[in-house]
Structure 1
Amino acid sequence: MLKLFCKICSTLTPSDTEIVEQMSNVATILSNILEMDVFLDCPTKKEDEAMVVFHARPEKKSLYSKNISGEIAYRINEPAVFRTFSTGLASRNYKAITQENEQVLQNILPIFNSLDEVICVIIIEYSEKQKEIFDKEYNKKAAAILMGQIDSLKDRVTEYINDAIITFNKDGYATYANKVAKILYENLGKHNIIGESFENLYFERINYNSILENPDSYKMKEINILNYSLSVQCFVSKINENIKRVTLIIKDITEEKKHAEELRLKTIFIKEIHHRVKNNLQTIASLLRLQKRRIKNEEVKKILDETINRILSIAITHEVLSTTGIDQISIKPILDILYGNYFKNNIDKTKKIEFNIYGDEFFISSDKATSVALVVNEIIQNAIDHAFIGRDKGKIEIEIIKNQESSKIRISDNGVGMDLSKNENNMGFLIVNSLIKDKLKGNIDVKSAKGIGTTIEFDFKN
């Protein structure tokens, strides 16, 4: 029918018609990839009329109730089509009225013959709601197809595609294969594609008619053959009501699979390293505990307890990294583990101290997470040791606040308060100040009032 419609146009030579016929393959591929209606329109002898010589209509998402091949397109309804005919320029996102009187957007590409005449246009149509989808899919999948101009049959649009493309006729025999397909099959030991049956070219046992009858079952398949990993898709398109054909699109994903496997092995390796570091730190903490039991001096014991807590605070980051394998860590779980595993083991059981951790969830690097854990450890340890002297209960709150450029952590207690001047030379506060300024590049603010409690707030760059 396509040849008949081209003949009716009365503006095309036999060689022009051959180009238009070849372009029907391109229209079919575009329709399959984008799941949108794609047309070939040719000019007629009437300057305000063009003919739809081919309509590639998607199975499920067509904007049309039927195939409109053979119908007339009018300048008043589709001005961009005639703009492209006269200027030879592509048209993007132009409004149009369809043959079914619906508003659509059109993306149009001119097709030239050897005399540099526009003999045909490829039209992709989509609704306003589909515009975002078209822009995304066009840029992702179809841009390579719609590049350049066609000067001869050898310079076919499909040759610009990085995927292997083979089209089959209604009987299941290959009628076209692009260069990528020929190279791929040559590497697989198959030197002739054109004229071969689908069954001889496909990678598994499958009946051609079963694809025509049930195309959704063969949309995407991953196949490993020799040293190749291939993503294989079968698209079924209607030539007319009675004839269907299959386009086979094969993407070589060998390097992608290798890269994914390398990343997987690297992640496992990183997880194992962090797991061993965590275990080593916990072993050091255990050795210090053994040493502590042999010491009678209470002040030395306290110093060892503080050192053990600092070591375990560092171990927390490696504990999280041993399960994720990535360098970005959510801050809240770090603080939850810090309390759940370590703080509660060092709280005087005669006192009822309530902990509450709340606020924003966000990710920071493992290096920052380690510094934050150490800072919070020192502040909490100081609160446990000094904030509730003479009291049998209290509350400690940790609030996580994420801002645009920097974030902060606010730690408050309702304890007895403290004399800030006496803490300037405290080892814990020296560590806190050093970590915040040198490692986190942030600032610290301490507020305390007798009988009300203490609030310590520090920030760090995101």
Structure 2
Amino acid sequence: METKQRIEELCRAYTSLTKEDIAQIVIKFEMLQNIADLAQANVFIDCPKRNGKTMIVVAEAVPTTIDSLYKTSVVGKEIFEPYEPAVFRAYRSGKPTMAHRALTHEGKHVKQNVTTICNQSGKTIGLLILEQEITLQVKRENELAILSETTEEFYRTFWDFITKEQAIPDIIEEALILLREDGCILYANNFAIGLIEGYGQLKLKNYMNSRIHECLPFIDISDYKHDAFVQREIHYLEKVFILRAICLKKKGDKGDRILLAFRDVTDLRNKERQLMVKSAVIKEIHHRVKNNLQTVGSLLRLQMRRGVSEEAKQSYQESLNRITSIATVHEVLSYSGIERVNMDEIIHKIAKTVIHNLPHSECRIQLELETEPLSLHSDQAVSLALILTELLQNCLKHAFKGRATGQISVGLYLLDQQIHLFVRDNGIGMQETEKADQLGLEIVKNLTQYDLSGVFEWKLWGGGGTVASVTFPFRQEEIL
């Protein structure tokens, strides 16, 4: 096996190991992969070099289920004592070194377990090293140490406020209560005293050194029997509070201190409920508007099926497309519950619907959509939906006369503080007389100018095709 040959070559080249010693190292290597997978760790075999001052890595195994500690193989690397003291300590003492922490050359914290590999005469000929990454553990330990120092400093500062500047906690718009570890009250500011008087059974004069759950019945023992941080929402007698409880440790104290902070969020929760009701009402309104528009559309389709002239049928279809476009906007608003709509979704639906409604006798249209996810208020979305419908209908009516195929591109994007919508075709182009006579284009102009405060442009493009564009300013909140 090539790896075994590599071990033998390294041992012969850099160590004083005998042939029997090298064979023993190879036997240990055969178990290396199983150890790495079982321990979920990188495993190495180091052997002492001839100089007796350094080691060389002759074998390694990487766990198959997790990432390796090292980006590249370390086989053949020379190991120095200042960087691997646990390895050299185990080598010299002949005793295992467990749970030693080290830092790799790639900046990762690892826990090392080192045990010796001995030959038949008991001489140490190599070392088996198991390394597990503990970078996250070290980070958490450091964070806990910082948190402990912070809470101690906070306790000292808070106690200074209480003893020297008592007015400061009293102007904080939260109820603050300091407890002993057994849940007895050491201090309460004015807001907390108000809570105790409102919900507790004790009088103001005897709340000190009383148990917190006797003063405030909605407090659980778990709120102060902990050594970290607790936050929960309390519903009690039609009131809603946010409770935050933090354990404050101070060196020299026999027990911990618990700081409870209450904030009354009853008004906030009531407003949230009102907004939820309003949102539901808005969704219902849009749903009903959509249903009404679809009913009108169904009546138009019914009339078309009962028989109308070809000229009237075209007018019916254009009106139906306009109704469908508005209904599409309200359909999206009916399940979003907000007064904003994603125009990317609307444009895709409208464009495909208008193309689908093209009479089968007309040419085959290829549709390309180049849109960005932009959000508009509902009134602007309705205007832009109608504009898109009119522009598409004009393309289908004029651009591809006498042609079997055609291509239409629709784009929506944001550039230079302006929202741009364009509809481009590769058709024969629309004549100026047709442009001036079109009701659809008059609708586009009016909607662009009066509803969107924008600019509408129409011009020839490419080899005779047409591009129509609408540009209007956006407000920052209009971006999705």
| Same fold (TM > 0.5) | yes
Structure 1 counterpart of 2:303, which letter? Q
Percent of matched pairs sharing the same residue = 30
Partner of residue 403 from structure 2, selected from 367, 385, 391: 391
Identify the match of residue 240 of structure 1 among 251, 258, 261: 251
CA gap of 1:64–1:267, structure 2 versus 1, over 3 A, is closer
CA displacement at 1:195 relative to structure 2: 2.0
Give the corresponding residue for 2:196. Answer: 185
TM-score between both structures, scaled by the size of structure 1: 0.64
Which residue is 1:293 aligned to? 305
- 1:157 counterpart letter in structure 2: I
Q: 1:440 aligns with which of 441, 452, 477?
A: 452
| Offset, 1:318 | 0.9
Deviations 1:119-166 (A, max 9, x none): xx95xxxxxxxxxxxxxxxxxxxxxx9xxx989868431111111111
Partner Cα distance (1:459, 1:69) in 2: 60
Does residue 196 of the first structure (1) align with residue 207 of the second (2)? no
Check the 8 A contact 1:347/1:384 in 2, yes or no: no
The match for 2:8 is: none
Cα drift, residue 365 of structure 1: 1.2
| Equivalent residue pairs, number | 329
Alignment pair present for 1:348 and 2:367: no
Name the aligned partner's letter for residue 406 of structure 1: Q
Residue identity in the other structure for 1:177: A
1:412–1:454 Cα contact (<8 Å) kept: yes
* 1:348-402 superposed Cα distances (whole Å, 9 cap, x missing partner): 3774322122233222111111010001001111112222222222221111121
Matched to 2:210, the amino acid is E
CA RMSD of aligned residues (A): 3.2
SS of equivalent to 2:344: helix
Distance change (3 Å), C-alpha of 1:430 and 1:215? same
The change in CA–CA distance for 1:200 and 1:328 in structure 2 (over 3 A counts) is: same
What is the match of residue 223 of structure 1?
A: 234
Offset of residue 293 of structure 1: 2.1
Q: Which runs of 5+ in 2 are unaligned?
A: 1-140, 475-480
Secondary structure, in 3 states, of the residue corresponding to 2:437?
coil
Change over 3 Å in CA distance of 1:160–1:432 after alignment to 2: same
The alignment status of 1:253 with 2:265, answered yes or no, reads yes
- Is 2:174 aligned against 1:163? yes
Residue type of the alignment partner of 1:303: S
Q: Report Cα offsets for 1:404-431 as digits up to 9, x if no partner.
A: 4321111111112221332201111111
Contact 1:203 1:223 in 2 (8 A): no
* Runs of 5+ unmatched residues, structure 1: 1-57, 71-107, 109-120, 123-144
Higher alpha-carbon deviation: 349-358 or 295-304: 349-358
Shift of residue 67, structure 1, vs aligned partner? 9.1
Whether the 8 Å CA contact 1:327–1:366 is kept in 2: the answer is yes
- Local SS of the residue matching 1:220: strand
Cα offset, 1:288, TM superposition: 1.3
User: Aligned partners of 1:353 and 1:195: how far apart in 2?
Assistant: 83
Structure 1 residue 400 corresponds to structure 2 residue 419: no
Q: Is the 8 A contact 1:398 1:410 kept in 2?
A: yes
Letter of the 1:412 partner, please give it: R
Q: Closer, same or farther in 2 for the Cα pair 1:151/1:172, shift >3 Å?
A: closer
Residues in 1 aligned to 2:462 and 2:266: alpha-carbon distance in whole angstroms: 68
Cα distance between partner residues in 1 of 2:161 and 2:199: 30
Under a length normalisation based on structure 2, what TM-score does the superposition of the two structures give?
0.62
Kept in 1, the 8 Å contact 2:453–2:472? The answer is yes
Report if aligned partners of 1:357, 1:397 keep a CA contact under 8 Å in 2.
Answer: yes
Matched with 2:430 is: 418
**How big is the shift at 1:196?**
1.8
| Alpha-carbon distance change, 64 to 402 in structure 1, aligned in 2, over 3 angstroms | closer
1:7-406 correspondence to structure 2 within 5 Å: 60=143, 62-63=145-146, 155-192=166-203, 193-201=207-215, 203=217, 206-207=220-221, 211-216=224-229, 219-240=230-251, 242-346=254-358, 348=360, 351-406=363-418
